Amino acid sequence: MESSVQNVIGLQGTGAVAEQRNRVLRNTYWLLALSMVPTVLGAWIGVQTGIMRAMSPGIGLVVFLVGAFGFMFAIEKFKNSAAGVPLLLGFTFFMGLMLARLLGIVLGFKNGTSLVMTAFAGTGAVFFGMAMLSTVIKRDLSKMGQFLFIGMILVFVAGLANFFIQSSALMITLSVLVIGIFSAFILVDLKRVRDGEETNYITATLGVYLSLYNVFSNLLALLGIFGGDRE
């Protein structure tokens, strides 16, 4: 009798854990979808006003780094409070503004709109592909996440160096690496939610959003370099 009661309690506990994981995953997807709205709004305002073009590349880089890291610090600090979601949405608006310079360049091509839509579709395909993989892969991906983090740091440092070097070949190489690294990050982050390793949907959304942002922006840059029609 005692064993049966323990089994029932165990099943209830397992069900509660599974429900919590599903809830975090659902909230992550909903918040991720919602975050696209301020991103698009910020990008539209940035393109229409030309606010990013008014800044020199150096000032733009400083604004981006200070703003991005400042927002991310605040989001992590308030992720368990009512301020977490508004901060995340404010961050996505800011990131949309930061995307305006690249969008303005690409939209200046004759086929610019087509390139933007292609980058959007490609990013969507990467997301859905990684989301599907996260449901079928059973192995622990924590070590993979560690290697990806190291790769991200190295690419970030190389990117900062290339800001001064201005090497086109290095920029293309880094863009390809960034797409690969952050595509894999989407898989790792979603798998962590499914495994119950990440229980805060705001943190989970922030991680996946950053990966999608990097995949989209670098894919768009590559499309602009190789497919831009200036005629």
Q: Write the pLDDT tens digit of every residue in 106-120.
A: 999 999 999 999 999
d(CA 85, CA 75): 8
Residues of the chain with pLDDT under 70: 1-15, 231
d(CA 146, CA 56): 35
Amino acid at 182: F
pLDDT at 52: 85
DSSP state of 50: T
Domain, as residue range, for 31: 2-227
Strand, coil or helix: 226: helix
The tokens describing 210, both together, are 């950053």
Burial class (CB in 10 A: 0-12, 13-18, 19+), 228: middle
Cβ atoms of 88 and 129 within 8 Å: the answer is no
pLDDT at 231: 61
Q: How many independent structural domains does the chain possess?
A: 1
Provide the residue count of the chain: 231
Burial class (CB in 10 A: 0-12, 13-18, 19+), 35: buried
The tokens describing 111, both together, are 């086929």
d(CA 140, CA 191): 8
pLDDT at 5: 44
DSSP state of 78: T
Cβ atoms of 193 and 143 within 8 Å: the answer is no
Cβ atoms of 106 and 115 within 8 Å: the answer is yes
Of 185, 205, 207, 200, which is closest to residue 134 (Cα–Cα)? 185
Whole-structure pTM value: 0.90
The tokens describing 212, both together, are 């999608």
Of 124, 134, 120, which is closest to residue 25 (Cα–Cα)? 134
